Amino acid sequence: MNKYSSLALRALWASVPLAMGLMASQAQAVPSFARQTGQDCAACHIGAYGPQLTPFGIKFKLGALRAF
């Protein structure tokens, strides 16, 4: 492998995390999910809001949306 192809390969690999970061979207949790599932927000979230989860919420999160 010559000097330029090695440099190009390194540049390509260095750009992969940047490209992945630019393509990622932010997750949006919405109350409509609670309406669709029949569960209120407090079923999964402590205090019905925030990042802290109840045991049911943890099971739901780890079970890839198959907790109920």
Three-class secondary structure of residue 63 per DSSP: coil
Q: Residue 67: which pLDDT band, with cuts at 50, 70 and 90? A: very low
In a domain, 67, yes or no: no
- Rounded Cα distance, 68 and 65, in Å: 8
- Rounded Cα distance, 44 and 59, in Å: 9
pLDDT, tens only, 38-54: 888 888 888 766 778 88
Q: What's the domain range around 26?
A: 3-62
Q: Which pTM does this prediction carry?
A: 0.42
Q: How many domains does the chain have?
A: 1
pLDDT, tens only, 2-40: 776 788 888 888 888 877 777 776 655 567 677 777 888
In a domain, 19, yes or no: yes
- Rounded Cα distance, 26 and 64, in Å: 18
Which pLDDT score is estimated for 64? 56
In a domain, 49, yes or no: yes
